Amino acid sequence: MPPPDPALPTQLSLFDEGQPAPAGRAASPEVRVPPALVEPAAPDPRQPRPQRELVVDGHRIAYALRRSRRRSIGFVVGPEGLAVSAPRWVGVAEIEAALREKSAWILRKLQEQRERAARLAAARVEWREGATIPFLGEAVILVLDPRATGAVLHTDATALPGVPRLTLHLGLPQTAAAEQIRDTVQSWLQRQARHVFEERCTLFTARLGVRMKRLSLSSAATRWGSASADGSIRLNWRLVHFALPVIDYVVTHELAHLREMNHSAAFWEVVRSALPDYEQARGALRHQLLPVLD
């Protein structure tokens, strides 16, 4: 087997693989449902345009129909609603029969998108005094403090259970604009991300017996990290919002690629050798929701 091309990094997706629609005569085995996104979505997952409608058991299902060269009918439920792809020769009646057959699955996925949109709205950060951001799995309260230099994290060891014990004092006036607060906090988070990632990489390179050539921060919208055969590792700086066990899983995942540039059984054994409970952290990562920082 030829060696891996260092120009083609192995990447850990921000998303899981999509799940297909339930098997049935009208649905293609290629049908996939996009996994939960972490980027901002419309607060109300309206249906794509152009729209068609079908009422099934009292439920209105709106969908966009796209004609394609595929040989079967396919469904995709995303933030904008339901999209249907069908061959040019398939009539609307047959398409709607397929929709009725899959209606339970479609309605469930549409509801999941609505719930996710609501969570995203709740996760949007308001850049003001007293707002909170997640850092290493804990809530941090923002404090505008002109006496501070840059951004300084304070810990209150006496905080009651359930009350945030961390405050981030920003060297900004009370009149600071939201953009100033956002930029100051994001710069601080990125500095902390590099410090934390370097520390965790040092720990896990020793456990795995690998040599990392370079660590870079990424702002990728679809990847938590990537590894190249030349020893370069890229980690999404926004991992710093999550607790250390989740960060450790992504770090271990990427460093393990320096021994196995694939996702074979051997690769997962390498991951397990350094992080025996990686499956728990991997599962937690799938359910993480990033705060919306725009």
Residue 3: inside a domain, yes or no? no
Shared domain check, 282 and 141: yes
pLDDT at 79: 82
Residue-averaged pLDDT of the chain = 83
Chosen domain end from 121, 146, 167: 121
The answer to whether the beta carbons of residues 246 and 288 sit under 8 Å apart is yes
pLDDT over 50 (residue 178): yes
**Nearest 10 degrees: Cα torsion 254, 256, 260, 264:** -90
**Maximum CA extent, the chain:** 71
Are residue 172 and residue 28 in the same domain, yes or no? no
10 in any annotated domain: no
Distance CA 117, CA 138 (A): 23
CA distance 225 to 197: 11
Of 121, 155, 173, the residue at which a domain comes to its end is 121
Q: Give the pTM.
A: 0.67
Q: How far apart are CA 94 and CA 26, in angstroms?
A: 8
Residues 115 and 170 in one domain: no
Clarify whether residues 94 and 227 are in a common domain.
no
* 6 is a domain residue: no
Enclosing domain of residue 179: 132-286
* Eight-state DSSP code of residue 92: H
Residues 165, 113 share a domain: no
Assess contact for 260 and 267: CB atoms under 8 A.
yes
Q: Give residue for tokens 């690769």.
A: 267
AA identity, residue 20: P
Are 137 and 187 within one domain?
Answer: yes
Query: Which is more confident, 24 or 138?
Result: 138
Q: Within a domain: residue 26?
A: yes
The reply to whether 50 and 144 lie within a common domain is no
Query: Residue 67 has which token pair?
Result: 């004609």
The answer to whether residue 71 is domain-embedded is yes
Same domain, 52 and 114: yes
Residues of the chain above pLDDT 70, percent: 82
H or E segment at 279? Answer: helix 278-286
Asked if residue 102 has pLDDT above 60, the reply is yes
| Co-location of 103 and 171 in the same domain | no
Each residue of 10-29: pLDDT tens digit?
A: 666 654 433 334 433 333 33
Number of compact structural domains in the chain: 2
**Nearest residue to 286 (alpha-carbon basis) of 11, 9, 17, 10:** 17
Q: Where are the beta strands (DSSP E) in the chain?
A: 10-13, 52-56, 59-68, 74-78, 81-87, 132-135, 138-144, 151-155, 166-170, 214-218, 223-227, 232-236
Last residue of a domain, one of 98, 121, 144: 121
Residue-wise burial string across 52-72, b where 16 or more C-beta atoms lie within 10 A, e elsewhere: bebebeeeebebbbeeeebeb
Are residues 161 and 219 part of one domain?
yes
pLDDT tens per residue across span 42-88: 334 444 554 788 888 888 888 999 888 888 899 999 888 899 999 98
Burial 6-29 (b: 16+ CB within 10 A, else e): eeebbbbebeeeeebbeeeebbbe
Residue 270 placed within a domain:
yes
- Domain with residue 161: its CATH number is 3.30.2010.10
State how far the Cα of 261 lies from the Cα of 4, in Å rounded to an integer. 7
The answer to which of 112-121, 179-188, 195-204, 257-266 has the lowest mean pLDDT is 112-121
Residues 275, 205: Cα–Cα separation, whole Å:
12
The CA distance from 117 to 183, in Å, is 25
Residue 37 clears pLDDT 50, i.e. is over it: no
**Do residues 61 and 54 lie in contact, with contact meaning Cβ atoms separated by under 8 Å?**
yes
Question: Do the domain assignments include residue 86?
Answer: yes
Residues 172 and 243 in one domain: yes
Same domain, residue pair 55 and 100: yes
